[in-house]
Structures are given as C-alpha cells and as structure tokens.
Amino acid sequence: MSEQIKAGREWLLPDEAATAAWATRWADALDDGLVIYLHGPLGAGKTSFARALLTTLGVGERVKSPTYSLMESYVARGRPAWHLDLYRIADSGELEWLGLDALADPAALILVEWPERGAGALPHADVEVRLDYAGAGRKASLHAFTARGEQLRRRLEGAN
C-alpha cells in the first residue's frame, strides 16, 4: 500500500491507496467532533478521502458519493457523522429542506464537499482540506481555523 509523503506544507498522494493511508492518519488523530470542508476540482479525491476516513472509523456500510442525495448520515466510532456534497446546489436557500440543523452537534464528524455552495447554512469549518491534481497522483494541503482543528493539524504534522 502506498503512503502519503510530506513535502513542505503539502502531502503528496501518489495513488488512491495513499489517499486512503492519509485518511487513516486522520482517523488516528481524531478524538472529537470535527467539521471538515473539502475543496478541490472534480476528481481530486474528496469523496475518496471521505470514504476512506468514514470506513476507517468503522462505518460498515458502503459510503456512497452524496452527489445526488446531497447528504448521507452515518455512525462512526459511536458518533454521528455526515457526508455532504453540495456540487448540485446553486443557492444556499435550496438547502433549507435538508435539515442542516442536525449538523450543529459538536460531537459530530462533518465532511462537506463544495462547501462554498452552502455558505451561511453550514457549521463553520474546523479544518479545510484542499486536494488537487499532481501528475498522475494528487496533493493535499490543510488549513485549521479553530482550536480543535489546530490540534488535529499538529497531530497530522507530527505523525510524519
């Protein structure tokens, strides 16, 4: 299985197994709820990352891309977990019927693809991950906005 490679402030993810390995590091570093915004173009690996993280956290069922459902809910390590993909949303007003109030639970793990399309309707990000193409593989960088996001970032940095 490939590993992620730390390069300066970025992680190089040469293949999908490396993305999964990086998500496993996140699972090791998580001990609280967390709101993760996932940025990057189509095909950058946002869903791959979310799927690997949720699966590592013990979600037994298949983690589908929420492209059509917009939102999927899981239980991960005994906590509520939500995976959203807002690509198809043109205006955050369209999200009113989705019941985003449930996302206010501070114990929840929340992963959001295309969060900019839900601006104002989503909980604030603890961390933002940016995935991008890098040759045949991908690269990732992250930004922490809160104390628990910063703690996670330090743990990830320290783990490599």
Ligand X SMILES: Nc1ncnc2c1ncn2[C@@H]1O[C@H](COP(=O)(O)OP(=O)(O)O)[C@@H](O)[C@H]1O
- Residues near ligand X (CB under 6 A) are 13, 15-16, 18-19, 40, 42-48, 65, 113, 137-138
Residue placing its CB nearer to Mg ion in the complex, 128 or 148: 128
Min dist CB 45 to Mg ion, Å, is 8
| Whole-number Å distance between alpha carbons of 28 and 10 | 19
| Whole-number Å distance between alpha carbons of 2 and 15 | 7
Min dist CB 114 to Mg ion, Å, is 8
Extended beta strands in 34-114, E state: 34-39, 71-76, 79-85, 109-113
Decide: 111 and 129 in contact? Cβ < 8 Å.
no
Kindly tell me which residue out of 47, 48, 56, 151 binds Mg ion, with binding defined by CB under 5 A: 47
Instruction: Choose the one of Mg ion, ligand X, none that binds residue 43, judging by a C-beta under 5 to 8 angstroms depending on kind.
Output: ligand X
Min dist CB 102 to ligand X, Å, is 22
Which residues, 6+ apart, have CB-to-CB distance to 99 below 8 Å? none
Instruction: Choose the one of Mg ion, ligand X, none that binds residue 48, judging by a C-beta under 5 to 8 angstroms depending on kind.
Output: ligand X
Question: Most distant CA pair in the chain: distance in Å?
Answer: 43
Q: Using the structure block, give the residue that is written with the tokens 């940016």.
A: 130
Min dist CB 78 to ligand X, Å, is 26
| Whole-number Å distance between alpha carbons of 37 and 130 | 8
48 binds Mg ion per the rule CB under 5 A: no
Residues 65-124 that bind Mg ion (CB under 5 A): 113
Min dist CB 150 to Mg ion, Å, is 26
Residue placing its CB nearer to ligand X in the complex, 59 or 151: 59
